[in-house]
């Protein structure tokens, strides 16, 4: 499927639900968005999946989880640029030239990626030099030895230098997404890295609680930025790093409006989601059961925002458990 852009001024976004209920007028449907075809924008990215005998959904359960997209102004010209990740092929960076015209600058920029199976991507000023950098999560190939995450540092001239290893975040887990934010309020960006378990779903011994058993490769990680080098502080910060964490979504926001950033993590399968409340001393406390009366049973992504304008952010979680009773029963595993 080709990527198509739907463009509209952000000012009109709050009217989206209202406009969707207004129906049609004599001139046709009322719309707030204009569909921009690839032949007009020059964005023709396709996350092409090639089913192969040795590598497919039966051999890799995340085969259809998809890639990622990041938006940001990489050259400070006032226009938002677009980076797409590809699972099986090269990633792509499109430079916004204005008037909804984009140029593929991937090769010259040096950001196509050399690792296998790219997933989530983030744009953030990782080193604090005023230029947006690009952090790409990778989830490995069939051999499992080519999944280090990549950090492309912006050189300020539309080129990037891959420096994940120098910064200490060339993580080798099955990474899903990285969220950059200043959790300790020391003025630089830290990193919460969401990883998906590499262990087969049916191979877990759930007779004992595995949540507190830390896995150095498969678990989530919190990295503290110390002079542009990231240190894993997960254990002392109270972040779970278990192999049972099938992380698929992470969102950051100030849940209790105390001025400190909190974290919500979506976990697939049998592990609950996490709400990490910032203790304002470099540590977090997981508070999901204290703050939620009901939760998703198989969380995918999550987002956070103040929907009702009361000053506090709501949390929206997507769930893939079937809603119809018949389909739910047909998808349930029984002994």
- What pLDDT is recorded for position 144? 60
The alpha helices in the chain, defined as continuous H runs, are 16-20, 38-41, 106-109, 164-167, 234-237, 288-291, 325-330
- What pLDDT is recorded for position 8? 37
Task: Compute CA distances 33 → 26, 38, 61, 170, 182, whole Å.
Answer: 18, 16, 35, 39, 34
The proportion of the chain whose per-residue pLDDT surpasses 90, expressed as a percent, equals 48
- What pLDDT is recorded for position 16? 32
Q: What are the phi and psi torsion angles at 325 (to 5°)?
A: -60, -40
- What pLDDT is recorded for position 59? 74
- What pLDDT is recorded for position 204? 64
Residues 6+ apart with CB under 8 A from 288: 272, 273, 274, 275, 295
Residue ranges for the chain with pLDDT beneath 70 = 1-29, 141-145, 197-208, 331-335
Burial (CB count <10 Å: 0-12, 13-18, 19+), residue 153: buried
- Residue 223 forms beta bridges with which residues? 191, 232
Residue with tokens 């378990």: 197
pTM of the model: 0.83
**Is the separation of the CB atoms in 273 and 226 below 8 Å?**
no
- What pLDDT is recorded for position 197? 67
**Is the separation of the CB atoms in 249 and 196 below 8 Å?**
no
- What pLDDT is recorded for position 305? 87
Residues 292-304 have pLDDT tens digits of 887 777 778 888 8
Mean pLDDT value across the chain: 83
Residues 6+ apart with CB under 8 A from 50: 88
Angle of CA points 219, 223, 227, to nearest 5°:
160
**Is the separation of the CB atoms in 88 and 64 below 8 Å?**
no
User: Which of 196-220 are b and which e, b meaning 16 or more Cβ less than 10 Å from the residue's Cβ?
Assistant: bbbeeeeeeeeeeebbeeebeebbb
Give the whole-angstrom CA distance, residue 170 versus residue 168. Answer: 6
Q: Which residue from 180, 211, 184 is spatially nearest to 193, judged by alpha carbons?
A: 180
Residue with tokens 């209202």: 18
Angle of CA points 297, 279, 292, to nearest 5°:
25
Q: Which two tokens stand for residue 101?
A: 């015209």
Q: Per-residue DSSP letters for 230-290?
A: EEE-HHHHT---BTT-EEEEEEEE-TT-SSS-EEEEEEETTSPPEEEEE-SSS-EEE-HHH
Q: Which residue from 230, 153, 223 is spatially nearest to 194, judged by alpha carbons?
A: 223
């Amino acid at each position: 499927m080709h990527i198509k852009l739907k463009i509209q001024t952000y000012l009109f976004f709050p009217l989206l639900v209202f406009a969707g209920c207004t129906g049609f007028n004599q001139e046709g449907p009322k719309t707030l968005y204009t569909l921009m075809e690839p032949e007009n924008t020059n964005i023709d990215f396709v996350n092409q999946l090639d089913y192969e005998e040795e590598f497919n959904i039966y051999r890799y359960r995340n085969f259809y989880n998809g890639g990622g997209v990041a938006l940001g102004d990489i050259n400070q010209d006032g226009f938002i640029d677009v980076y797409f990740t590809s699972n099986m092929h090269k990633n792509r960076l499109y430079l916004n030239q204005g008037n909804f015209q984009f140029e593929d600058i991937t090769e010259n920029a040096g950001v196509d990626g050399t690792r296998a199976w790219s997933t989530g991507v983030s744009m953030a000023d990782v080193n604090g030099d005023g230029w947006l950098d690009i952090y790409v999560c990778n989830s490995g190939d069939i051999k499992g030895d080519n999944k280090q995450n990549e950090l492309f540092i912006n050189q300020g001239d539309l080129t990037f230098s891959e420096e994940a290893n120098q910064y200490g975040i060339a993580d080798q887990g099955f990474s899903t997404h990285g969220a950059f934010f200043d959790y300790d309020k020391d003025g630089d960006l830290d990193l919460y890295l969401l990883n998906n378990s590499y262990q087969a779903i049916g191979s877990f011994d759930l007779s004992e609680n595995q949540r507190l058993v830390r896995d150095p490769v498969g678990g989530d990680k919190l990295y503290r930025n110390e002079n542009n080098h990231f240190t894993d502080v997960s254990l002392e910060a109270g972040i779970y790093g278990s192999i049972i964490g099938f992380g698929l979504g992470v969102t950051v926001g100030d849940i209790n409006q105390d001025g400190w950033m909190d974290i919500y993590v979506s976990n697939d399968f049998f592990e609950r989601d996490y709400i990490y409340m910032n203790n304002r001393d470099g540590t977090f406390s997981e508070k999901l059961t204290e703050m939620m009366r009901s939760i998703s049973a198989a969380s995918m992504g999550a987002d956070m925002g103040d929907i009702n304008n009361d000053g506090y952010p709501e949390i929206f979680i997507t769930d893939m458990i079937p809603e119809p009773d018949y389909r739910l029963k047909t998808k349930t595993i029984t002994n």
